[in-house]
Chain A
Amino acid sequence: MFKDLDPILHSQLRLAIMSLLISVREADFIFIKESTNATAGNLSVQIQKLKDAGYLEVAKKFKDNYPQTTCKITSKGVNAFESYVKALQQYVNVSGNK
Protein backbone atom coordinates (compact mmCIF):
# COMPACT_ATOMS: atom_id res chain seq x y z
CA MET A 1 0.00 0.00 0.00
CA PHE A 2 1.47 3.36 -1.03
CA LYS A 3 1.56 6.25 1.35
CA ASP A 4 0.04 9.43 -0.05
CA LEU A 5 2.65 12.02 -0.88
CA ASP A 6 2.29 15.12 1.30
CA PRO A 7 0.71 17.75 -1.03
CA ILE A 8 2.51 20.54 0.84
CA LEU A 9 5.90 19.05 -0.01
CA HIS A 10 5.02 17.58 -3.39
CA SER A 11 5.69 20.72 -5.39
CA GLN A 12 8.98 21.74 -6.95
CA LEU A 13 9.78 24.95 -5.11
CA ARG A 14 8.46 23.97 -1.68
CA LEU A 15 10.37 20.70 -1.88
CA ALA A 16 13.53 22.60 -2.89
CA ILE A 17 13.13 24.98 0.08
CA MET A 18 12.65 22.09 2.52
CA SER A 19 15.57 20.10 1.03
CA LEU A 20 17.79 23.12 1.45
CA LEU A 21 16.74 23.83 5.01
CA ILE A 22 17.02 20.19 6.08
CA SER A 23 20.79 20.38 5.59
CA VAL A 24 21.38 23.72 7.36
CA ARG A 25 20.38 25.06 10.76
CA GLU A 26 18.88 28.25 9.33
CA ALA A 27 19.16 30.30 6.16
CA ASP A 28 18.04 33.72 5.08
CA PHE A 29 15.66 34.61 2.25
CA ILE A 30 18.44 35.74 -0.11
CA PHE A 31 20.33 32.48 0.31
CA ILE A 32 17.17 30.47 -0.44
CA LYS A 33 16.35 32.69 -3.41
CA GLU A 34 19.85 32.32 -4.89
CA SER A 35 19.91 28.57 -4.30
CA THR A 36 16.49 27.90 -5.82
CA ASN A 37 16.62 30.54 -8.61
CA ALA A 38 13.03 31.42 -7.68
CA THR A 39 11.48 34.86 -7.95
CA ALA A 40 11.10 36.76 -4.67
CA GLY A 41 7.29 36.87 -4.98
CA ASN A 42 6.85 33.16 -5.65
CA LEU A 43 9.34 32.29 -2.92
CA SER A 44 7.49 34.43 -0.35
CA VAL A 45 4.21 32.71 -1.17
CA GLN A 46 5.69 29.21 -0.88
CA ILE A 47 7.52 30.02 2.36
CA GLN A 48 4.26 31.32 3.79
CA LYS A 49 2.51 28.03 2.83
CA LEU A 50 5.23 26.02 4.54
CA LYS A 51 5.00 28.29 7.57
CA ASP A 52 1.20 27.89 7.71
CA ALA A 53 1.64 24.10 7.61
CA GLY A 54 3.95 24.40 10.63
CA TYR A 55 6.97 23.11 8.66
CA LEU A 56 8.99 26.32 8.88
CA GLU A 57 9.72 28.96 11.46
CA VAL A 58 10.18 32.39 9.93
CA ALA A 59 11.89 35.21 11.80
CA LYS A 60 12.13 38.79 10.61
CA LYS A 61 14.95 40.94 11.95
CA PHE A 62 17.32 43.70 10.86
CA LYS A 63 20.90 43.27 9.64
CA ASP A 64 22.92 46.45 8.92
CA ASN A 65 19.66 48.47 8.88
CA TYR A 66 18.13 46.18 6.23
CA PRO A 67 15.28 43.76 6.94
CA GLN A 68 16.36 40.13 6.99
CA THR A 69 14.06 37.11 6.91
CA THR A 70 15.51 33.86 8.20
CA CYS A 71 13.89 30.45 7.88
CA LYS A 72 14.38 27.39 9.97
CA ILE A 73 12.81 23.95 9.63
CA THR A 74 10.64 22.83 12.59
CA SER A 75 10.54 19.31 14.07
CA LYS A 76 7.12 18.88 12.41
CA GLY A 77 8.80 19.85 9.13
CA VAL A 78 11.62 17.34 9.68
CA ASN A 79 9.10 14.55 10.34
CA ALA A 80 7.05 15.49 7.28
CA PHE A 81 10.18 15.57 5.13
CA GLU A 82 11.31 12.16 6.38
CA SER A 83 7.88 10.63 5.73
CA TYR A 84 7.86 12.19 2.27
CA VAL A 85 11.30 10.70 1.42
CA LYS A 86 10.21 7.26 2.72
CA ALA A 87 7.04 7.39 0.57
CA LEU A 88 9.11 8.45 -2.44
CA GLN A 89 11.50 5.55 -1.92
CA GLN A 90 8.52 3.19 -1.91
CA TYR A 91 7.37 4.54 -5.28
CA VAL A 92 10.86 4.41 -6.78
CA ASN A 93 11.47 0.85 -5.53
CA VAL A 94 8.20 -0.37 -7.02
CA SER A 95 8.78 1.32 -10.39
CA GLY A 96 12.37 -0.02 -10.37
CA ASN A 97 11.13 -3.59 -9.81
CA LYS A 98 8.68 -3.43 -12.73
Chain B
Amino acid sequence: MENKPALTPEESLHIISSMIDNVQKRYSDNGFLYLLWGWVVFFCGIAQFILWHFFHNQNHYLVWSVLWVVLIFEIFYLRKKRVDSNVRSYTGNIIKYVWLSFVLLLMVIFISLSHLDLSIFQTLIVPVMLAMYGLPVFLSGIILRFKPLIFGGIACWILSLIAGYVSYDYQLLFIPAAMVIAWILPGFILKKKFGESSKARIMTD
Protein backbone atom coordinates (compact mmCIF):
# COMPACT_ATOMS: atom_id res chain seq x y z
CA MET B 1 0.00 0.00 0.00
CA GLU B 2 1.34 3.39 -0.99
CA ASN B 3 0.52 6.67 0.64
CA LYS B 4 -1.86 8.12 -1.93
CA PRO B 5 -2.94 11.54 -0.57
CA ALA B 6 -5.95 12.42 -2.78
CA LEU B 7 -8.61 9.97 -1.68
CA THR B 8 -12.28 10.16 -2.60
CA PRO B 9 -14.74 9.65 0.31
CA GLU B 10 -15.75 6.29 -1.24
CA GLU B 11 -12.11 5.17 -1.35
CA SER B 12 -11.67 6.19 2.30
CA LEU B 13 -14.74 4.21 3.37
CA HIS B 14 -13.51 1.23 1.35
CA ILE B 15 -10.11 1.34 3.13
CA ILE B 16 -11.80 1.50 6.54
CA SER B 17 -14.15 -1.41 5.90
CA SER B 18 -11.52 -3.58 4.20
CA MET B 19 -9.02 -3.12 7.06
CA ILE B 20 -11.61 -3.95 9.72
CA ASP B 21 -12.70 -6.99 7.69
CA ASN B 22 -9.05 -8.02 7.25
CA VAL B 23 -8.45 -7.99 11.05
CA GLN B 24 -11.59 -10.01 11.71
CA LYS B 25 -10.57 -12.66 9.18
CA ARG B 26 -6.95 -12.88 10.34
CA TYR B 27 -7.84 -13.21 13.97
CA SER B 28 -10.88 -15.40 13.77
CA ASP B 29 -10.93 -18.18 16.35
CA ASN B 30 -9.73 -21.58 15.16
CA GLY B 31 -12.26 -23.30 17.45
CA PHE B 32 -9.58 -25.44 19.12
CA LEU B 33 -10.51 -24.65 22.73
CA TYR B 34 -14.23 -25.03 22.04
CA LEU B 35 -13.62 -28.48 20.60
CA LEU B 36 -11.19 -29.47 23.35
CA TRP B 37 -13.55 -28.49 26.19
CA GLY B 38 -16.57 -29.75 24.30
CA TRP B 39 -15.15 -33.26 23.81
CA VAL B 40 -13.61 -33.50 27.30
CA VAL B 41 -16.86 -32.49 29.05
CA PHE B 42 -18.84 -34.68 26.63
CA PHE B 43 -16.83 -37.80 27.53
CA CYS B 44 -16.79 -36.92 31.25
CA GLY B 45 -20.60 -36.62 31.18
CA ILE B 46 -21.00 -39.96 29.38
CA ALA B 47 -18.49 -41.63 31.75
CA GLN B 48 -20.31 -40.25 34.79
CA PHE B 49 -23.64 -41.51 33.44
CA ILE B 50 -22.22 -45.01 32.79
CA LEU B 51 -20.56 -45.19 36.24
CA TRP B 52 -23.71 -44.06 38.04
CA HIS B 53 -26.46 -45.66 35.97
CA PHE B 54 -24.91 -49.05 35.24
CA PHE B 55 -22.46 -49.55 38.12
CA HIS B 56 -24.00 -47.37 40.88
CA ASN B 57 -20.51 -46.10 41.62
CA GLN B 58 -20.71 -43.57 44.47
CA ASN B 59 -17.56 -41.82 43.26
CA HIS B 60 -18.92 -41.27 39.76
CA TYR B 61 -18.38 -37.48 40.04
CA LEU B 62 -14.60 -37.98 40.30
CA VAL B 63 -14.39 -38.22 36.50
CA TRP B 64 -14.66 -34.43 36.50
CA SER B 65 -11.15 -34.20 38.05
CA VAL B 66 -9.90 -34.44 34.46
CA LEU B 67 -11.09 -30.85 34.00
CA TRP B 68 -8.27 -29.58 36.23
CA VAL B 69 -5.74 -31.09 33.82
CA VAL B 70 -7.52 -29.43 30.86
CA LEU B 71 -7.67 -26.12 32.77
CA ILE B 72 -3.91 -26.20 33.42
CA PHE B 73 -3.31 -27.07 29.76
CA GLU B 74 -5.53 -24.16 28.71
CA ILE B 75 -3.63 -21.69 30.90
CA PHE B 76 -0.33 -22.72 29.25
CA TYR B 77 -1.91 -22.78 25.79
CA LEU B 78 -3.36 -19.27 26.16
CA ARG B 79 -0.13 -17.95 27.64
CA LYS B 80 1.84 -19.28 24.66
CA LYS B 81 -0.76 -17.94 22.22
CA ARG B 82 -0.52 -14.53 23.91
CA VAL B 83 3.28 -14.50 23.59
CA ASP B 84 3.17 -15.62 19.92
CA SER B 85 0.36 -13.27 18.98
CA ASN B 86 1.22 -9.87 17.55
CA VAL B 87 -2.19 -8.35 18.16
CA ARG B 88 -4.50 -8.00 21.18
CA SER B 89 -8.18 -7.59 20.56
CA TYR B 90 -10.93 -6.00 22.64
CA THR B 91 -13.28 -8.95 22.12
CA GLY B 92 -10.68 -11.47 23.27
CA ASN B 93 -10.23 -9.51 26.47
CA ILE B 94 -13.97 -9.24 27.21
CA ILE B 95 -14.57 -12.93 26.49
CA LYS B 96 -11.70 -13.85 28.81
CA TYR B 97 -13.41 -12.04 31.70
CA VAL B 98 -16.84 -13.48 30.84
CA TRP B 99 -15.43 -17.01 31.17
CA LEU B 100 -13.34 -16.17 34.20
CA SER B 101 -16.42 -14.85 36.02
CA PHE B 102 -18.30 -18.00 34.96
CA VAL B 103 -15.62 -20.27 36.44
CA LEU B 104 -15.59 -18.28 39.70
CA LEU B 105 -19.39 -18.28 39.87
CA LEU B 106 -19.42 -22.03 39.19
CA MET B 107 -17.11 -22.60 42.16
CA VAL B 108 -19.19 -20.35 44.45
CA ILE B 109 -22.47 -22.07 43.47
CA PHE B 110 -20.93 -25.55 43.75
CA ILE B 111 -19.60 -24.83 47.24
CA SER B 112 -22.96 -23.31 48.30
CA LEU B 113 -24.95 -26.27 46.98
CA SER B 114 -22.60 -28.87 48.45
CA HIS B 115 -24.01 -28.08 51.94
CA LEU B 116 -27.44 -29.35 50.86
CA ASP B 117 -28.74 -32.90 51.32
CA LEU B 118 -27.40 -35.24 48.65
CA SER B 119 -30.87 -35.84 47.15
CA ILE B 120 -31.58 -32.09 46.85
CA PHE B 121 -28.05 -31.49 45.56
CA GLN B 122 -28.51 -34.15 42.88
CA THR B 123 -31.87 -32.69 41.84
CA LEU B 124 -30.47 -29.18 41.49
CA ILE B 125 -26.90 -29.51 40.31
CA VAL B 126 -27.41 -30.33 36.60
CA PRO B 127 -30.22 -27.78 35.91
CA VAL B 128 -28.27 -25.07 37.79
CA MET B 129 -25.01 -25.85 35.98
CA LEU B 130 -26.75 -25.86 32.59
CA ALA B 131 -28.57 -22.57 33.34
CA MET B 132 -25.30 -20.94 34.39
CA TYR B 133 -23.40 -22.46 31.51
CA GLY B 134 -25.81 -20.94 29.00
CA LEU B 135 -24.78 -17.43 30.08
CA PRO B 136 -21.09 -17.31 28.98
CA VAL B 137 -21.91 -19.27 25.82
CA PHE B 138 -24.71 -16.82 24.93
CA LEU B 139 -22.59 -13.76 25.78
CA SER B 140 -19.63 -15.11 23.76
CA GLY B 141 -21.97 -15.51 20.81
CA ILE B 142 -23.21 -11.93 21.18
CA ILE B 143 -19.69 -10.49 21.55
CA LEU B 144 -18.31 -12.50 18.62
CA ARG B 145 -21.52 -11.99 16.61
CA PHE B 146 -21.51 -15.77 16.07
CA LYS B 147 -25.01 -17.23 15.90
CA PRO B 148 -24.16 -20.91 16.64
CA LEU B 149 -22.95 -19.85 20.11
CA ILE B 150 -26.05 -17.68 20.70
CA PHE B 151 -28.26 -20.67 19.83
CA GLY B 152 -25.99 -22.90 21.95
CA GLY B 153 -26.51 -20.65 24.99
CA ILE B 154 -30.29 -20.64 24.49
CA ALA B 155 -30.21 -24.44 24.04
CA CYS B 156 -28.46 -24.77 27.42
CA TRP B 157 -31.27 -22.82 29.10
CA ILE B 158 -33.92 -24.97 27.41
CA LEU B 159 -32.06 -28.13 28.48
CA SER B 160 -31.87 -26.73 32.01
CA LEU B 161 -35.65 -26.23 32.09
CA ILE B 162 -36.30 -29.78 30.83
CA ALA B 163 -33.69 -31.29 33.17
CA GLY B 164 -35.77 -30.15 36.14
CA TYR B 165 -38.41 -32.73 35.18
CA VAL B 166 -36.01 -35.64 34.64
CA SER B 167 -34.44 -38.04 37.16
CA TYR B 168 -30.80 -37.47 38.19
CA ASP B 169 -29.58 -40.47 36.17
CA TYR B 170 -30.84 -39.07 32.90
CA GLN B 171 -30.05 -35.46 33.82
CA LEU B 172 -26.41 -36.55 33.51
CA LEU B 173 -26.96 -37.10 29.78
CA PHE B 174 -28.04 -33.48 29.37
CA ILE B 175 -24.46 -32.32 29.96
CA PRO B 176 -23.01 -34.17 26.92
CA ALA B 177 -26.06 -33.05 24.92
CA ALA B 178 -25.36 -29.41 25.89
CA MET B 179 -21.70 -29.88 24.90
CA VAL B 180 -22.63 -31.06 21.42
CA ILE B 181 -24.99 -28.10 20.85
CA ALA B 182 -23.10 -25.35 22.66
CA TRP B 183 -19.43 -26.19 22.00
CA ILE B 184 -18.70 -29.06 19.65
CA LEU B 185 -20.92 -27.86 16.77
CA PRO B 186 -19.88 -24.16 17.09
CA GLY B 187 -16.26 -25.36 17.43
CA PHE B 188 -16.47 -27.29 14.14
CA ILE B 189 -18.10 -24.29 12.41
CA LEU B 190 -15.33 -21.97 13.75
CA LYS B 191 -12.66 -24.45 12.63
CA LYS B 192 -14.18 -24.62 9.15
CA LYS B 193 -14.47 -20.81 8.91
CA PHE B 194 -10.90 -20.40 10.14
CA GLY B 195 -9.65 -22.90 7.54
CA GLU B 196 -11.53 -21.08 4.78
CA SER B 197 -10.27 -17.61 5.79
CA SER B 198 -6.66 -18.91 6.12
CA LYS B 199 -6.92 -20.44 2.65
CA ALA B 200 -8.35 -17.20 1.20
CA ARG B 201 -5.55 -15.23 2.88
CA ILE B 202 -2.84 -17.48 1.43
CA MET B 203 -4.37 -17.01 -2.03
CA THR B 204 -4.52 -13.22 -1.74
CA ASP B 205 -1.11 -12.74 -0.07
Q: Footprint of B on A, CB under 8 Å?
A: 5, 10-16, 19-20, 22-28, 30-31, 35-38, 42, 46, 63, 68, 84-85, 88, 91-92, 95
Can you list 5 residue pairs at the A/B interface with Cβ under 8 Å?
A: A11-B7, A13-B1, A19-B19, A20-B22, A24-B87
A11 & B19 in contact (Cβ 8 Å cutoff): no
Provide the bound-state CA to CA distance between A63 and B86, in Å: 10
Query: Among the listed A14, A31, A91, A95, which residue makes an inter-chain contact with B87, where contact means beta carbons less than 8 Å apart?
Result: A31
- Give, as a whole number of angstroms, the nearest-CB distance from A74 to chain B: 15
A91 & B88 in contact (Cβ 8 Å cutoff): no
A sample of 10 more A-B contacts (CB under 8 A), given A24-B88, A35-B26, is A11-B4, A13-B1, A13-B3, A16-B19, A23-B20, A24-B89, A35-B22, A38-B2, A42-B2, A91-B9
Q: Does B12 contact A (CB under 8 A)?
A: yes
Provide the residues of chain B in CB contact with A20, threshold 8 Å: 19-20, 22-23
A12 & B9 in contact (Cβ 8 Å cutoff): no
Q: Footprint of A on B, CB under 8 Å?
A: 1-5, 7, 9-13, 15-16, 19-20, 22-24, 26-27, 83, 86-90, 93
A92 & B7 in contact (Cβ 8 Å cutoff): no
Number of A-B contacts (CB under 8 A): 86
B1 & A36 in contact (Cβ 8 Å cutoff): yes
Write the chain B residue with the least CB distance to A7.
Answer: B5
Provide the residues of chain A in CB contact with B10, threshold 8 Å: 92
Q: A27-B88, A92-B9 are in contact. Are A13 and B2 (CB under 8 A)?
A: yes
The 10 lowest CB-CB distance pairs between A and B, nearest first, are: A19-B19, A91-B9, A28-B86, A27-B87, A31-B86, A25-B88, A12-B4, A19-B16, A13-B3, A20-B19
Provide the residues of chain B in CB contact with A85, threshold 8 Å: 16
- Give, as a whole number of angstroms, the nearest-CB distance from B28 to chain A: 13
Write the chain B residue with the least CB distance to A90.
Answer: B9
- Give, as a whole number of angstroms, the nearest-CB distance from A72 to chain B: 9
A12 & B7 in contact (Cβ 8 Å cutoff): yes
Q: A23-B24, A24-B23, A95-B9 are in contact. Are A12 and B89 (CB under 8 A)?
A: no
Provide the residues of chain B in CB contact with A15, threshold 8 Å: 7, 12, 15-16
Query: Among the listed B3, B23, B24, which residue makes an inter-chain contact with A11, where contact means beta carbons less than 8 Å apart?
Result: B3
